[in-house]
Chains A and B, each alone.
Chain A
């Protein structure tokens, strides 16, 4: 499945909201490694994002 779909699923996980159908699709056609890699990268991106916002806010 495409990168964009994986990213969307991981985003849904961040929010804690996911549809049954999408979830089924993830688990049937997605590879766990893809989700883990994208999940870790997006967690790091979240850290950078919040850090950037915090730096801006601290100005």
Chain B
């Protein structure tokens, strides 16, 4: 794909070949083969990021189809059947194809650089886990062209809508989820192995940057829950093709069991998509406030606490399935508890800003917007935790607003912040400031125009996942649609920024940001293909 976009690897700055570096010293294949066979963490990181960007635009187009249909009441552009495929595919692509691979891509690039490792611990596995993704997602997207259409049961694919009542392509959907799941598990194993084994001499766990910490914890979450997802889709596969009745009530099965299994995966999954974002923001805010992160140990402990609690809250997605009263109360309390460590993080960031020396460079703009908007998503989450009120909120646009605030101006803005932060390291050039600011402000206005009115339409009674709606919701939907197109198209500005940044621009020194302290800023910009072939000695710096 667009290989002209990629930074030209600069010649190796060292002739020493570290043991275990598969390709060092060999003549490397050129062109496509180079990208197919690469075992270099930076190249694989770039592949992940480009893949995720592509998926982001594909999922975004699906979202715009949905929003265009919802621009006004009535069915204008698409039929309900295709509409359901679009909502489903939008969710699946964004969760598994855009957000997760983007974080894995950032981890691939930055974890070895931040801990002073020469590469990922398992480079060939790294290559394999990336190339599984294009295969899995091509398969997933191809279902749209199959007879009966693609998945149309929502990204949560509740049985029996996703089994007995599903289109024939569902078996392919299951296979693609398996492939994406294997990719995630292998990626997680690799990240854990790298962090635990390849830290620079002298760097203890508690010296690691928070991005590394949050990824370490995220990787354990991935290993814990992706097999549950694999299990649940395999049970679906059996129900569909082999006559079992795990989720078929007529055969003695239990449709609610599906939801328990799905959300036991699904809730930690939510944190998989947000913990690395916390890590990125915890790197950026101290850099541009020129002040150490407030409460570093608290941040680490809070991350661990969130990860543990995330296994105890899954049934808050199921307050309406008829759980016993005790279970409702239990899950309401645990869900409210998880707000505490999350709040601690936000307070820590704000305390970091306090009495700093703040500049508003592009990464900082996105990081600050993350803090504000993620908090808004957190507050609606707190409201949703109140079980009796959830009887009104559940399955409405209020929920849609909530999780989009957490994921778009939350996780996605953190990814963008990370991209702006590390682009100088990746390309050797600073991103264009004017364009970055345009991108930022258009995105902020667009994202809030899109998702803020959804709070209102949800409270006023608009259910999720409907292709057409009653007249009283018309104004909110019109605003949301206008905002979504504004947000969607303003992401093209980001592509422009990246292209310009790869091509040229203001040269960045090794330490591209004045306040940046971590190890990645000790290697030249752009980072040469091989770094830290002789391990750096880690000075006990401030954390």
B495 at the interface (CB under 8 A from A): no
6 shortest interchain CB distances as A-B pairs: A16-B302, A13-B301, A23-B297, A16-B344, A54-B329, A54-B330
| B309-367 contacts to A (CB < 8 Å) | 312, 325-327, 329-330, 333-334, 337, 340-341, 344-345
What residue of chain A has the Cβ atom nearest to residue B348's Cβ?
A: A16
| A3-59 contacts to B (CB < 8 Å) | 12-20, 23-24, 27, 39, 43, 46-47, 50-51, 53-55, 57-58
Known contacts A54-B333, A58-B325, A19 near B308 by CB under 8 Å:
no
Q: How many Å lie between the Cα of A39 and that of B220 in the bound state? A: 15
B298 at the interface (CB under 8 A from A): yes
What residue of chain A has the Cβ atom nearest to residue B207's Cβ?
A: A27
B256 at the interface (CB under 8 A from A): no
B249 at the interface (CB under 8 A from A): no
On chain A, the number of residues with a Cβ less than 8 Å from chain B's Cβ atoms is 23
Known contacts A19-B297, A23-B206, A14 near B330 by CB under 8 Å:
no
Enumerate chain A residues within 8 angstroms of B340, measured Cβ to Cβ.
Answer: 15-16
Enumerate chain B residues within 8 angstroms of A20, measured Cβ to Cβ.
Answer: 296-297
A18 touches B298 (CB 8 A): yes
Q: How many Å lie between the Cα of A19 and that of B297 in the bound state? A: 7
Enumerate chain A residues within 8 angstroms of B305, measured Cβ to Cβ.
Answer: 13-16
Q: How many Å lie between the Cα of A12 and that of B341 in the bound state? A: 11
A39 touches B308 (CB 8 A): yes
B304 at the interface (CB under 8 A from A): yes
Q: How many Å lie between the Cα of A12 and that of B325 in the bound state? A: 31
Q: A residues bordering B, Cβ < 8 Å?
A: 12-20, 23-24, 27, 39, 43, 46-47, 50-51, 53-55, 57-58
Q: Which of these, A18, A43, A51, contacts B330 with CB under 8 Å?
A: A51
Interface residues on B, range: 20 to 34
What residue of chain A has the Cβ atom nearest to residue B333's Cβ?
A: A50
Closest CB in chain A relative to B295 CB, distance in Å: 8
Enumerate chain A residues within 8 angstroms of B326, measured Cβ to Cβ.
Answer: 51, 54-55, 58
B204 at the interface (CB under 8 A from A): yes
Closest CB in chain A relative to B344 CB, distance in Å: 4
B206 touches A50 (CB 8 A): no
Enumerate chain A residues within 8 angstroms of B205, measured Cβ to Cβ.
Answer: 27
Q: How many Å lie between the Cα of A27 and that of B206 in the bound state? A: 7
A16 touches B329 (CB 8 A): no
Enumerate chain A residues within 8 angstroms of B298, measured Cβ to Cβ.
Answer: 16-18
Closest CB in chain B relative to A55 CB, distance in Å: 5
Enumerate chain B residues within 8 angstroms of A13, measured Cβ to Cβ.
Answer: 301, 304-305
Closest CB in chain B relative to A32 CB, distance in Å: 8
9 additional A-B residue pairs with CB within 8 Å, beyond A15-B344, A16-B341, A17-B298: A13-B301, A16-B340, A24-B206, A50-B312, A50-B334, A51-B330, A54-B327, A54-B330, A58-B325
A27 touches B204 (CB 8 A): yes
Closest CB in chain B relative to A33 CB, distance in Å: 14
Known contacts A13-B305, A16-B340, A16-B344, A58 near B206 by CB under 8 Å:
no
What residue of chain B has the Cβ atom nearest to residue A10's Cβ?
A: B301
Listed by A's residue number, 10 A-B pairs whose Cβ atoms lie within 8 Å are A16-B302, A17-B298, A18-B297, A19-B297, A20-B296, A23-B206, A27-B205, A46-B312, A54-B326, A57-B329
Closest CB in chain B relative to A15 CB, distance in Å: 7
Q: How many Å lie between the Cα of A16 and that of B307 in the bound state? A: 12
Enumerate chain A residues within 8 angstroms of B325, measured Cβ to Cβ.
Answer: 58
Q: How many Å lie between the Cα of A24 and that of B325 in the bound state? A: 44
Q: How many Å lie between the Cα of A57 and that of B299 in the bound state? A: 32
Enumerate chain B residues within 8 angstroms of A50, measured Cβ to Cβ.
Answer: 312, 330, 333-334, 337
Closest CB in chain B relative to A53 CB, distance in Å: 7
Q: How many Å lie between the Cα of A19 and that of B294 in the bound state? A: 11
Q: How many Å lie between the Cα of A15 and that of B347 in the bound state? A: 13
Q: How many Å lie between the Cα of A46 and that of B309 in the bound state? A: 10
B204 touches A47 (CB 8 A): no
Q: How many Å lie between the Cα of A14 and that of B341 in the bound state? A: 8
Q: How many Å lie between the Cα of A46 and that of B340 in the bound state? A: 15
Enumerate chain A residues within 8 angstroms of B333, measured Cβ to Cβ.
Answer: 50, 53-54
Closest CB in chain B relative to A9 CB, distance in Å: 9
Closest CB in chain B relative to A17 CB, distance in Å: 5
Closest CB in chain A relative to B442 CB, distance in Å: 35
Q: How many Å lie between the Cα of A43 and that of B313 in the bound state? A: 13
A43 touches B308 (CB 8 A): yes
Instruction: From A12, A23, A43, A54, name the one whose CB has the most chain B CB atoms within 10 angstroms.
Output: A54
